[in-house]
Structure 1
Amino acid sequence: MSIPSPVVNSHVQLLAALVDFDDKEESEYRFLVDGRHVKYVTVDPGVLPKDDRTFAPVLLPLLPPFPLGDWNEGHISKDAQNGRPVFANVNKSSLPGVKNTWHPTLIDHLELRKLDRLRQNIHKVAHPRFDEPVLVKFAEFPWQIPYLEDETTVYQWIDGSGIGPKFLGHVTEEGRVIGFVMEYIDGARTATPDDLRACQRALSRLHALGIKHGDINKHNFVAAERDRTRVELDVEYSRLEG
């Protein structure tokens, strides 16, 4: 199979990829086109070389040319005639977004300048609104929005309590809210047994608000200098009964 010219899809940037290691299920991609428009693309298993599905310089030339027009979801399959990748369909969908936009600040994702990636969907970024680096957490794919919805609500519950990192605003993508910005705690690290009392104090403050944490382990605590231990809000929370 011939490889398309490198100029094909030169205006496309790979933002995120989720692939099945065994290549038995669809691969999911998030692309930025022309520096402005986000496109979500799924690819049938077996369409792309198994080892070249996530490395952008190799992946992008292998994909068929991105169709023009106003669309945000597309699907790639094999052409029945020659077996090459082809866009089987594209459409303009009403993608879900976080509904609980309780904070007054809205920041477009294109305004954020990435400095570092802490986790797959948590980046250290810079923005003109803030004097120091901040963290952004966002849904890479539309089906992840419910998790961000829950987390956004928990931040509303604890706002001003000093339990978790400060919530600084909502992040938008073409009008819909896909995540949020929170403070970056310089020198933060995963808690150790030496931080047990600080973790207990943070957890006690959480319980005092009538909230219980669904997964208490050291990886869900952010420890910095004395009395600045925070609870990470990346698991399910619920209100305490009674």
Structure 2
Amino acid sequence: MAYSVPFTVDSAHQDSATGLVLYRIRVPVSATTNAHEGPTIRYLTASSPPKGASNSIPDDRGRNLSFETVPAGDWNLSHLATTSDGTKFVLASTETSSLDKSVGLLDAGTTWHDTQFDLVHLLDAFYAQRKLHPDNNDTCAAANIQCSGHVNAAVLPSPFNPNHPSAQDKVIGIWAWQPGLTYGIANETHIYYLLRARGDPGLAARFLGHITDDATRVVGFLLEHVVGARHAGPGDLDKCREALRRLHAAGVAYGPSLRRESFLVTIEGSVLLQGFGGAFETDEEEVFVAELGGLEEVLAQV
């Protein structure tokens, strides 16, 4: 016998070009037959918002939804229709979908690393820690320079076993489930792969694994937390130039988003690169020359 379960709206998104509406909701694991622990993710989708809705889109609080429960079971996508007065959404159907481009969702890169962690569990641990330590501002993305330049990024409690070689108290999480934001994540993931494949993984913070959404789609990645790092300045020109040359030697240009925040200067004085969302593969020497030629001006920016 079919039954319904409560849910919470985790977040919502509307595509600015197509009008497509997506809700990311959480249901209790007891409502499914899958084995992994904790709340599970479902998506609700509609081709456009209700024309008579009085609440704004994206509707992160679910005020445009006319229902408070959803069907139990292992479906992952529900299609929405509108109420007769056109002001709210109702559930029209559910299905098990591949959650691909056809419904406005994309993988944020291919999985090349052996380690994967689920976004739900990472964020649950993050919010639990904030409740325990409300005065610890270091858990805020704005307080850490490795999180700058990303829509969704935070210093997270480490999910690794204390005896694991990658064990730290904290790691950097960077993710984006929303359509339109996955390209940058996918590109960064690919650049970290290239640095590892071409023999220079030490040019950036260690790539620790992929972040998945409900143990399915790739939506982000984890990085080593570089404690005490600072952004580069004019006095770091030589070391930053060398770091950029190493990137070029791997066949990668940083791209037009190069800025002083692209460089991390560690406590030991070495320089790492970060923020590869706009980086690209090339063998054009003039691109490398131009990038190096503008570096001094980049580092002088306030």
Give TM class, smaller chain. Answer: 0.7 to 0.9
Counterpart residue number, 1:237: 280
Letter in 2 for 1:156: Y
1:165, distance to aligned residue in structure 2 (A): 1.5
In the other structure, the counterpart of 1:106 is 116
1:140 maps to amino acid: W
Please list, as runs of the form range in 1=range in 2, the aligned pairs for 1:210-221 lying within 5 A after superposition: 210-215=251-256, 216-221=258-263
CA RMSD of aligned residues (A): 3.3
Paired residues, number:
230
**What percentage of aligned pairs have identical amino acids?**
28
Q: Which residue of 2 aligns with 1:11?
A: 7
Q: Find the counterpart in structure 2 of residue 5 from structure 1.
A: none
Correspondent of 1:30 among 21, 24, 30: 24
Which residue matches 1:209?
250
Query: Is 1:20–1:26's contact at 8 Å kept on the other side of the alignment?
Result: yes
In structure 2, do the counterparts of structure 1 residues 213 and 93 end up closer, same or farther at CA, with 3 Å as the change threshold? same
Q: Which one is further off, 100-109 or 187-196?
A: 187-196
Secondary structure of residue in 2 paired with 1:32: strand
Relative to its length, the structure with more strand (as a share) is 1
Task: Pick the aligned partner of 1:164 from 174, 185, 204.
Answer: 204
Higher mean displacement: 74-83 or 149-158:
74-83
CA contact (8 A) 1:116 1:125 kept: no
Deviates more, 1:80-89 or 1:169-178: 80-89
Deviations for 1:79-131, whole angstroms, at most 9, x for unmatched residues? 12574321234332112435632222222323312243444222221134133
Q: Which residue of 1 aligns with 2:140?
A: 116
Whole-Å separation in 2 of the counterparts to 1:79 and 1:203: 56
TM-score for both structures, normalised by structure 2: 0.63
Q: Counterpart amino acid of 2:175?
A: F
* Aligned partner letter, 2:140: D
Q: Distance in 2 between matches of 1:187 and 1:49?
A: 47
Match among 56, 80, 83 for residue 79 of structure 1:
83
Of 91, 98, 121 in structure 2, the residue corresponding to residue 94 of structure 1 is 98
Match of residue 199 from structure 1: 240
Q: For 1:148-189, what per-residue CA distance to the aligned partner results, in whole angstroms no more than 9, with x for missing partners? A: 333222101112432211101122232333322111222345
* Distance in 2 (alpha carbons) for counterparts of 1:100 and 1:146: 12
**Residue type of the partner of 1:157?**
L
Q: Distance in 2 between matches of 1:210 and 1:52?
A: 42
CA contact (8 A) 1:121 1:140 kept: no
Q: CA 1:62 to 1:83, structure 2 compared with 1: closer, same or farther past 3 Å?
A: closer
Distance in 2 separating the partners of 1:70 and 1:230: 42
Is 1:186 paired with 2:181?
A: no
1:52, distance to aligned residue in structure 2 (A): 7.3
Which residue is equivalent to 1:131?
Answer: 168
Partner of 1:49: 54
Unaligned runs of 5+ in 1: 1-7
- Contact between 1:222 and 1:229, CA under 8 Å: does it hold in 2? yes
The 3 A distance-change label for structure 1 pair 195 and 87 is: farther
Mark the CA change 1:200 to 1:80 in structure 2 (over 3 Å): closer, same or farther: same
Q: Is the 8 A contact 1:163 1:230 kept in 2?
A: yes
User: Helix, strand or coil: the match of 1:67?
Assistant: strand
The CA distance in 2 between the partners of 1:84 and 1:110, in whole Å, is 27
Change (3 A) 1:186 1:49: farther
Bigger share in helix: 2
Q: Give the gaps of 5 or more residues in structure 2.
A: 29-37, 101-106, 127-138, 142-146, 161-166, 286-302
Distance 1:27 1:176, change over 3 A: closer
